[in-house]
Amino acid sequence: MTPSREPERRARDVLDPVHFDALAGGAGSERTLTGNEDAFVRRRLRPRVLRGPGTPDLSTHLPGARLAAPVVVAPTAFHRLAHRAGEVATGEGVAAAHGLLTVSMMATTAVEDIAETGAALWFQLYVQPDRAFTADVVARAEAAGCRAIVLTVDSPVRGRHVRDERHRFTDLPAGLVCENMRGRDGRLRDLVVDPDLGWDAVAWLRGTTSLPVLVKGVLHPADARLAVEHGVDGVVVSNHGGRQLDGALATLDALPAVVDAVAGRVPVLLDGGVRSGVDALVALALGADAVMVGRPVLWGLALSGADGVRAVLDDLADALAHAMALAGAHRPADLTPDLVVVP
């Protein structure tokens, strides 16, 4: 077992096996889930020497956020399956690490309560067929202090999660609900993934909020180009952590063409399979402005609550700084594609 799998193994030991699988699993044969990590393992670094990298400066500017390191917590549903304090503990850990948390529309804690932790927040959105309700959710997120909307675009239908099917896991345990799916009247709505959603949703969203809008779930360079043409403020290269289209390209393999298509006009983020500082370095060298991490944060949360989340983020930033120094880079902009090879 590689060291990067150790936190997952330890989380498996403390979680209900059905809940562990709900968090760890992917779609179908899970080839995209494993492919994301394998894509990093295939890469090797060709460091530069005698560049006097000094103490690395990881500071990064993203829509609505100045960060000490180019690492963002990806939106993941159901944190109360990982830890009883759920997204509040995640928020506390992120705040302690001076990080940035993307709150999932499927969070088991209200965005207002997560905001009280003081963590910097983005809010992830699935545009609902009921646009008035969607606008209310966006307004809630904005009022709570979220600094950008992350529009997930890779889910016209739900991925088939084989582990959940095997366990017949269809409903959250009693007492847990998606708290951000309440309307103004307090009534809960079911989350709908909309097979009819098109690019007009981006224009609609931009007319609904003054917050920056990022699209998450782009793999094809033509879509990256369209996203920029539709005025988005950032593109997240993502295959939903292998939970949507099984067989989709590993995000790291999709990254260079997207970076070319975006051509520096907006930030490009990548998620999927980032497990170490070296992984983050590889993604930055291939053109990402920042990485997002999903499951590692859930494992930190499961193992030690807020402290565990903080440790995951601090360790990742420290390891990235260390790897940058060894590769001869002072700041992320010094990381260029020639540093990464597939031998």
- Restricted to residues 253-282, the positions that interact with ligand FNR (CB under 6 A) are 271-274
Report CA torsion sign: 114, 295, 178, 13: negative
Q: Which is nearer to ligand FNR, 76 or 128 (CB)?
A: 76
Report CA torsion sign: 207, 213, 217, 220: positive
Residue 330 a catalytic site member: no
Our finding on whether 7 is near ligand FNR (CB under 6 A) is no
Beta strands in 246-301 (DSSP E): 268-271, 290-293
By the 8 A CB rule, do 143 and 212 touch? no
For 207, the token pair is 């007319």
Our finding on whether 8 is near ligand FNR (CB under 6 A) is no
- Which of 32, 90, 117, 124 touches ligand FNR (CB under 6 A)? 124
- Residues with Cβ < 8 Å from 136, sequence gap 6 or more? 183, 184
Q: Which is nearer to ligand FNR, 237 or 285 (CB)?
A: 237
Our finding on whether 152 is near ligand FNR (CB under 6 A) is yes
- Restricted to residues 33-72, the positions that interact with ligand FNR (CB under 6 A) are 36
Q: Residue 95, Cα to own-chain centre: how many angstroms? A: 17
The CA angle 164-72-113, to the nearest 5 degrees, is 75
**Type of residue at 227:** A
Our finding on whether 23 is near ligand FNR (CB under 6 A) is yes
- DSSP-derived letter for residue 181 is G
Residue whose beta carbon is closest to ligand FNR:
294
Piece in contact with ligand FNR (CB under 6 A), picked from 47-55, 56-64, 195-203, 233-241: 233-241
- Restricted to residues 237-256, the positions that interact with ligand FNR (CB under 6 A) are 238, 240-241, 243
User: Which residues sit at the interface with ligand FNR, rule CB under 6 A?
Assistant: 23, 36, 74-77, 104, 106, 124, 152, 216, 238, 240-241, 243, 271-274, 293-295
Q: Which residues are catalytic?
A: 240
